[in-house]
Amino acid sequence: MQTNIMSLRKWSLILCLCSIFVVQEGLARDVSSTALSAEILLKLVALNDSLDLAGVDTVRIAVLYDPSDNTSFRQAVIYDSILSQFPLPPFSGRPLTILRQSNRNLAALSRGKIHAIIVIPGRDNRLSGLREVCNKEHILSMTTDSTLVSQGISAGVEINAEGKPEIWFNIKSLKDESAKYSMDVLRLAKHLIFGN
């Protein structure tokens, strides 16, 4: 009986350690896919032909989150951290500033000389107000959720089930925001959407 209890304890400990390893591996995969998505979003900002880097001292990107959604906030913190620590932003030597901001304060985007916004999906994305600001201020809107691209965000990057990135563009929204991409960049897209 004593031997069975010891065996049971050993197996419980082994199972516990295995489950910790699986959870950590899953978290590492999530972080690496988020880092990949963040890197591609940065490159999409850099490849926007309407962004004149010669006239820019610092590239400013706002990470917009829904404060009523804890998952949205946590994702915004992760993206903020990854982007802020990006070793060599692809902006011809220009520094990168990341601003994490609630989607409840869209007016602040007009005052901040923001070049791009990354919309972290939440329960209340406030897309109509966001699109209005982006169109007026010529701010490139981007997201990590393809559904938001079909609802009017200009560009999106999702990591599919195989861990491969998929780029989405909303052509009408790109035009409304005065964003321009070469045909070579547009060919990289998994999906092109031509309306809102």
Dump the DSSP string for 8-63: HHHHHHHHHHHHHHHHHHHHHHHHHHHHHHHHHHHHHHHT-TT--GGG-SSEEEEE
Burial class (CB in 10 A: 0-12, 13-18, 19+), 137: middle
In tens digits, what is the pLDDT along the chain, a chain of 196 residues?
544 444 444 444 343 333 333 333 443 344 588 999 999 999 999 999 998 887 888 889 999 999 999 999 999 999 999 998 887 788 888 888 899 998 888 877 776 689 999 999 988 878 888 899 999 999 999 999 999 999 999 999 999 988 899 999 999 999 999 999 999 999 989 888 887 6
pTM: 0.80
Separation of alpha carbons 47 and 52, rounded Å: 10
Taking a C-beta distance cutoff of 8 angstroms, is the pair 131, 152 a contact? yes
Domains of the chain in sequence order: 36-193 (3.40.50.2300)
Return the C-alpha torsion angle 36, 48, 111, 132, nearest 10.
-100
